[in-house]
Structure 1
Amino acid sequence: MNEQRDVPRRRVLKGGKIVINDGFSAFDCIVRNVSDSGARVKVPSIVGIPDQFRLSMNDGREFACTVVWKTENELGVTFS
C-alpha cells in the first residue's frame, strides 16, 4: 500500500472524545495514529458522528476535524 499523505503519521494509542453540538454531545474514541495534519480515530460505531467535529484528546490537545474517509468503526480526519 502506498502512502498518500503529505505528512507521515506516528502510531499512538490515546483516548479521546469526539465532541459535537457545541459540547453537548460526545463520543468516546481511541486515536490510533496522528500527524500535524490529521489522525486515524477508532470508534465503536460511526453512526451519529458528523463529517465535522472537535477531537478532544485525553492529553489535553484539541483539534477541529473534517472526515476524509470512514469505515464501520474508524475515521480518517484532517485538522482544520
Structure 2
Amino acid sequence: MVETRVAPRHRVMKPAKIEYGGMKTPCTIRDISVTGAALEISELTGIVPAAFNLILPEEKLKLPCHVVWRREFRIGVAFD
C-alpha cells in the first residue's frame, strides 16, 4: 500500500475533547501528524459537526479542525 499522506502520522493514545456549540465530547487521539489526526469517540460520529475545536488538555492546545472522513466510532480530521 502506498502512503499518500503529506505528513507522517504517529500512533498515540491521548485523551482529548471535541468542542462545538458550547459542548465538549471526550475522545481519544489514535494517531496524529502536523496536518491532522484520527480520533476515536464512544458515541456515534453522526453527532460530531463538520468543523470543531480539538482540545488537547495535556498540551494545553485548542486546534480548529474539520472532518475529512467518518467511520462508526472514528473520525479523521485535518487541522485548519
Structure 1 consecutive aligned stretches of length 4 or more whose deviation exceeds 3 Å: none
> Take 2:11 and 2:2, find their aligned partners in 1: how far apart are those partners?
17
The answer for the alignment partner of 2:24 in structure 1 is 26
Identity value in percent: 33
**1:30-78 deviations in whole A, cap 9, x for unaligned?**
0011111100000112131101000001211221011000100001000
TM-score (norm 2): 0.91
Report 1:44-59 matches (<5 A). 44=42, 45-59=44-58
Task: State the shift of 1:3 in Å.
Answer: 1.7
> Take 1:73 and 1:15, find their aligned partners in 2: how far apart are those partners?
15
Q: CA RMSD in A?
A: 1.0
Q: Which runs of 5+ in 2 are unaligned?
A: none
The answer for the alignment partner of 2:12 in structure 1 is 12
Count of equivalent residues? 78
